[in-house]
Amino acid sequence: MAKLKQQARPPGSSKSSQKLLMPYSYFIIISVVGALAAYAYFHWPSKDSTLIKFLPPIQLAEQPKKTIWGSFRSQNYFGLRTKTPKGMLFGMAWYSQPSMMSMPNMRHVCDQGDGLNHYAWTKADGRSFGQQIVNDSSGLILNTDWISHEDTFTARISGLQKNPKQRTAVILYLLKQDPQATLSINKKLNDRHVKRLFNGQSDEFGSYYVDLSISAHGVYSSTLGGASVDITNIRDYFLRHTTADETSDGLIYQLNQQDVVENPVIAAIQLNLPEKFDLTISFNSQNHTALTEKSFLEALNARVTSFEEKIEEAFKLKNKGYTNNELHLGQLALSNMLGSIGYFYGHNKVQLPGSDKVQAYGTHSLVTAVPSRPFFPRGFLWDEGFHNMLIRKFDQELSLEILVSWLNTMNVNGWIPREMILGEEAESRVPAEFVIQRSNVANPPSWFYVIWKMIEDKEFSVKHKKVFEQIYPKVSRWYNWLRQSQKGDQKNTFRWRGRNATIETELNPKTLSSGLDDYPRASHPSTQERHLDLRCWLAIASRVMVELANLFGSEAEKKRYDEYLKHDSDFEDLVEKHWSHEAKAFVDYGLHSYDVELKRVPLKKKGKQPEEWIWKRVSEKPQLRMVDDVFGYNSLYPLIARLIPPNSEYMEHTLNRIRDEKELWTNFGLRSLSKQSPYYGQKNTEHDPPYWRGYIWINLNYLTLSALNHYSGVPGRLQERTQQIFTELRQNIVRNMAEELQRTGYIWENYDDKTGRGRGTHPFTGWSSLVLMIMSDQLDG
Ligand SMILES: *[C@@H]1O[C@H](CO)[C@@H](O)[C@H](O)[C@H]1NC(C)=O
Ligand SMILES: *[C@@H]1O[C@H](CO)[C@@H](O)[C@H](O)[C@H]1NC(C)=O
Ligand SMILES: *[C@@H]1O[C@H](CO)[C@@H](O)[C@H](O)[C@H]1NC(C)=O
């Protein structure tokens, strides 16, 4: 940190000028000017302005309609909204009426702590409908289905409680974010037929109203309408307004009827329901009536049917011999990915390197898929590239909308934040230490892979020529920023920024920017470091830049990208910079010690009694060398980027180590780090468990399979072996993920390399959903 600050110091305060002797008054003037300059450097907006300056946004040929409802509140079990910044929010919370005087266990925002048996969008197209099943540990099975129709929606919530005596409380609410809009609650809800719940007026919908029809007996209801609510804690708001009331059925918890104001910000109704119930909620706008009853069912069924046909068309799974469990896995993976697509609005918090000043970055509107609804309900740059490798196959127009949405968040320098934490609702889900994004930190440009595929699809790229013409200059900036900002100290070498060179408590200082977080790199971060994966990512990106420049660039640009590509894919140079002759593997290079360990050491501080202990890293003196006691995902990047000549000894060594059970091979997929590495399964600090140090991750398995698939088609002495490894690896991953879904009800963040068991965050239908691409025979498509 101190070092970075020094580099950033304005020229006026450099050491040489201080050496001059000068009269006192000059000294004062110069000091004042210097101080002002320093102040300006750190605080003057103009100095920082490139950080928060943006190019004109890319325009899609057809702007997606903003008033279309969707399950764009990724973090909610069931929440609908439109893609407008101040749009109306619809949501639902529920709980089982507690049997004793204890607080209700209310479910609202996806939370692993709720311990649900299972929940997922089992069918969803990310556009017009969704079907979700929620298997609550209380014995309640909920189905939440919805469709949009013009600017209306209809949702059907069905419940079945195992225990007939158990009553279920369901809260439905509408929250207006636009202060100009009006909202009111109908408090008379005493007949059993269609009821008007809410109505009001808004710019988006004109005069709108929400109706409910209930099929259930003996329903109690109560309402709540508050003048203000903390959008990040709606659940808490409901709980604070819940009281226990004595009824003829005993004690019931419900929203307190007294608390209804005129024109509330949030309007809610609670229904206390018997063991079986069906609720249909319809949102009607001034110009359109929502579909209900028969027309709702017809529309829903039609969309389900066309969804299933579209899946088959895109992935062709029939007649491939998959089991029902495996087919279920594939469909669930895609559906929950699409059903989790969110719309976020707000600004990031960012910092220039070397500055303490946090700036608002944006405002931005972002349409993005998310890695995991309970744990990571927001956009992540490199994850999103992986997500769209899958989404593109199903709905390329949707991928284009998402790509454009991301590219429009890029600043003029070509930087895109690694994590998109937009708006209060999103920020409330992120630990404070991760909120601030730094403008020197990159993330793998996995999107280039998707862009490549999009422009290879001639029909698509011709249709969207105008959009790609706008994409090209933005992507060029991104690429050039990456190349410049992450360059290494030698030609054609690259280094991820953001590693902490002074930290003493981490076994191996993390490289969050690489996406592989704690994957071991050179033990002592230095400017001489070379990161293999980054160089390979640039080779992949250069390939795409060449194609883009051929279509949209000038002669000079074409020449430049050709030149870059030549350098990045120069295999001899790659061998020179990254091949360890001793280990026979591609690896990083840097200041590295072979002998590193975390030790509990006394922390001696003068006058401090008793003595404290801390976990601290101790090591043998590091040397500049190949980081060749580490073999794992990073070493596969030359294969992934298809830089290794087919049938070469390099290929053979790489295949050998992939297929070796003492290294990367398991019956469940490739582990992230060789069992032979001293870092295998090691904690990074006293409290940080291993993450990319053995467990099986689906995204890197996917990239590897895709490359193996490619090399399988190249005749030669290694062809058959490559095919074999490809086939076995594919089977292992699919079989294990299907078994784990069956056993646990979830798709997981990663899988244990010893047992195959799902672990980490769940449900995780971000890049783990690439399993569907793996199942289809078009890994390269
Ligand atoms: C709900 O989950 C439980 C526990 O995993 C399981 O036994 C039950 O079959 C599930 N019910 C449904 C309808 O999926
Ligand atoms: C309703 O339709 C009319 C006529 O087409 C249009 O002028 C108006 O803007 C629409 N209202 C809303 C809220 O979309
Ligand atoms: C690096 O780690 C040290 C020790 O934990 C910490 O004080 C410092 O703020 C860190 N630097 C950066 C840039 O995060």
- pLDDT per position as a tens digit, 465-495: 999 999 999 999 999 999 999 999 999 999 9
Kindly state whether residue 87 falls inside one of the protein's structural domains.
yes
pLDDT at 513 over 50: yes
Substitution candidate for ligand 3 out of 496, 502, 684, 686 with most atoms within 8 A of CB: 502
Q: By residue range, what is the domain housing residue 229? A: 79-315
Mean pLDDT of 421-446: 89
Q: Which of 737, 722, 9, 700 is nearest to 354 (CA)?
A: 9
What per-residue confidence (pLDDT) applies to 145? 98
User: Is there a contact between 47 and 40 (Cβ–Cβ < 8 Å)?
Assistant: yes
What per-residue confidence (pLDDT) applies to 249? 75
**pLDDT band for position 19 (cuts 50, 70, 90):** very low
Both structure tokens of 738? 């299907």
Substitution candidate for ligand 3 out of 4, 352, 500 with most atoms within 8 A of CB: 500
> In this structure, which ligand is nearest to the CA of 115?
1
Which ligand 3 atom lies nearest to the CA of residue 1? 13
Kindly state whether residue 636 falls inside one of the protein's structural domains.
no
For residue 121, report the distance from its CA to the centre of ligand 3, in Å: 41
Protein residue whose Cα sits closest to atom 9 of ligand 1: 135
Mean pLDDT of 347-375: 92
**Does 117 contact ligand 1 (Cβ within 6 A)?**
yes
Question: What b/e string do you get for 756-766 counting C-beta neighbours within 10 Å, with b at 16 or more?
Answer: bebbbbbbbbb
What per-residue confidence (pLDDT) applies to 189? 62
What per-residue confidence (pLDDT) applies to 7? 28
Which ligand 3 atom lies nearest to the CA of residue 505? 5
Instruction: Give the residue numbers marked as catalytic.
Output: 517, 749
What is the domain count for the chain?
A: 1
What per-residue confidence (pLDDT) applies to 308? 96
Each as own residue / partner, the long-range contacts of residues 572-577 (CB below 8 Å, 24 or more positions apart, any chain) are 573/492, 574/535, 574/638, 574/643, 575/650, 577/490, 577/492, 577/493, 577/530, 577/535
Substitution candidate for ligand 3 out of 503, 508, 510, 614 with most atoms within 8 A of CB: 503
Q: Which domain CATH number covers 100?
A: 2.70.98.110
Kindly state whether residue 96 falls inside one of the protein's structural domains.
yes
pTM of the model: 0.92
Which ligand 1 atom lies nearest to the CA of residue 135? 1
For residue 508, report the distance from its CA to the centre of ligand 3, in Å: 14
Kindly state whether residue 92 falls inside one of the protein's structural domains.
yes
Residue 342: burial class (beta carbons within 10 Å; 0-12, 13-18, 19+)? buried
Question: What b/e string do you get for 142-178 counting C-beta neighbours within 10 Å, with b at 16 or more?
Answer: bebbbbbbebbbbbbbbbebeeeeebbbbbbbbbbbe
**pLDDT band for position 190 (cuts 50, 70, 90):** low
pLDDT digits (tens, 9 = 90+) for 72-90: 999 999 999 999 999 999 9
**Does 232 contact ligand 1 (Cβ within 6 A)?**
no
Kindly state whether residue 230 falls inside one of the protein's structural domains.
yes
**pLDDT band for position 18 (cuts 50, 70, 90):** very low
Protein residue whose Cα sits closest to atom 14 of ligand 1: 135
pLDDT digits (tens, 9 = 90+) for 553-563: 999 999 999 99
β-strand pairing of 758-759 with 750-751: antiparallel
Protein residue whose Cα sits closest to atom 3 of ligand 2: 287
pLDDT digits (tens, 9 = 90+) for 562-584: 999 999 999 999 999 999 999 99
Mean pLDDT of 494-512: 96
Report which of residues 622 and 245 the model is more confident about: 622
> In this structure, which ligand is nearest to the CA of 143?
1
Ligand 3 pocket, residues with Cβ under 6 angstroms:
1, 500, 502-503
**Does 257 contact ligand 1 (Cβ within 6 A)?**
no
Kindly state whether residue 281 falls inside one of the protein's structural domains.
yes
> Cis bond leading into 763, ω under 30°?
yes
Distance CA 653, CA 638 (A): 12
> In this structure, which ligand is nearest to the CA of 287?
2
Mean pLDDT of 367-379: 96
Whether the CA torsion 247, 249, 250, 252 is positive or negative: it is: negative
Kindly state whether residue 170 falls inside one of the protein's structural domains.
yes
Kindly state whether residue 696 falls inside one of the protein's structural domains.
no
Average pLDDT score, the chain: 91
